[in-house]
Amino acid sequence: MAGSFTQPVDANAVLCALENGEVLHLFLDEHTLLDSRFRPMREATQLALPLKGPLNDDIAALFSALPFSTELATRHFESSEPSNNPHAQLHRTIKTWLDTNADDEEKTALLTQLPRKWERLGDAMVLPEQAFQTPQWTHLLSRCSQQQIEMLWQSVAQALSANRLGRQHAVASDMFRTSQTELLYGDNGWVEFLDHGVRFGFDFTRVMFSSGNNTERRRIGAISMKGEVVVDAFAGIGYYTLHMAKRSQAEHIHAFEMNPDAIEGLQWGIRANDVEQRVTVHSGDNQRNLPLLYGKADRCHLGLLPSSEAVWEHAVRCLKAHGGWLHIHMNVRENEIDTWQASTVDTLKHIAAEHGRTWNISSTHLERVKWYSPRVRHVVLDVHFEDIHGMNDV
């Protein structure tokens, strides 16, 4: 029973060397495999992390994609007390709701199917796509009245200390990467919050926000861009634009965005962070608008998944004659990252040569942002364009 045991309990575990513990923890979390009811355990030079689900070939294959070795085993874990952690609170709350809304025989199974993971956006909590959608939960909810269901969502929100509740659906594969988050409880989806000192506001039922890109927002915002003109080709609500304006101190950012819902959030963020004088929003298709910046930028940020390749040529042409930087986002299979990195630099050299640029072009860093799917990584490649001979015309 979640959160109620205090004695050590046998559970499945995955073990790795201590220095890989953080990466493995993130990996389990992203694949919803971490059993947060238990406390990770240090054993000499190894870390044992509690694993949800059975130890089978699929799980073993998933871990084999990692760049370090892991071992599957069972371990004696302690409960991740305190028992008033959100998991335990959720368990208690749902148990109470089930006491009046479900049959005794159903309860035990339903209580083992509670969400183990959620994401906070301001005062809203967003549950994963499968939350309360198992066949047994769907069957129970189909018998409940609207009022009973409303009570359930309200209780879940309260247990998780939130005022509103949403449930994620896959980000649409349309050009806008539209959020399809469903509002389960609350009047509207507008949320406001602080991310590494930068204010964000948007409607989470209409626009996506990837908390998994947290490390990348922190990294980009830590790069000094003083005196630079920056192009953000896929600005969204300002995921990177606002960090580059506020924390990197770019002199001016040209933010390109075509989704009106995202632009609403972007404009809000520009005002809230007091960077109106240093950000220009170019609404509409960047294929049409990027030529406005040809030859004018020191840096271009290309943050679109699964690929930003459609604007690579525009981005190269936006760089000033003396060169600059590109930050290229891409989803790449883990075992193809090296070849993708080399072929991307080749493609950029080809584009530059076609436009008469004689830059020295090299990749300086590859950031592994998050796992996008079991074997596919969201990566960002930093590429430097340098006019070593001063031969490019201004």
Ligand X SMILES: C[S@@+](CC[C@H](N)C(=O)[O-])C[C@H]1O[C@@H](n2cnc3c(N)ncnc32)[C@H](O)[C@@H]1O
* Residues found near ligand X in the complex (CB under 6 A): 175-177, 208, 210, 213, 234, 236, 239, 256-259, 262, 285-287, 303-305, 329
Residue closer to ligand X, measured from CB, 138 or 211: 211
Residue 10 Cβ, how far from ligand X at the closest point, in Å? 38
Minimum Å gap between C-beta 162 and ligand X is 23
Starting at the earlier edge strand, list the strands of the sheet with 71-77: 41-43, 46-50, 9-17, 71-77
Q: In 10 A of CB 261, how many CB atoms? A: 18
Q: Which CB, 317 or 329, lies closer to ligand X? A: 329
For the bound state, the minimum distance from the C-beta of residue 259 to ligand X, rounded and expressed in Å, comes to 4
Q: How far is the CB of 326 from ligand X (least distance, A)?
A: 14
- Least CB distance from residue 66 to ligand X, whole Å? 22
Least separation in angstroms between CB 179 and ligand X: 9
Closer residue to ligand X (CB): 177 or 320: 177
Of 125 and 305, the one with the shorter C-beta distance to ligand X is: 305
Nearer to ligand X by Cβ, of 303 and 323: the residue is 303
Instruction: Indicate the residue among 137 and 239 with the shorter CB distance to ligand X.
Output: 239
Closest residue to ligand X, Cβ-based? 234
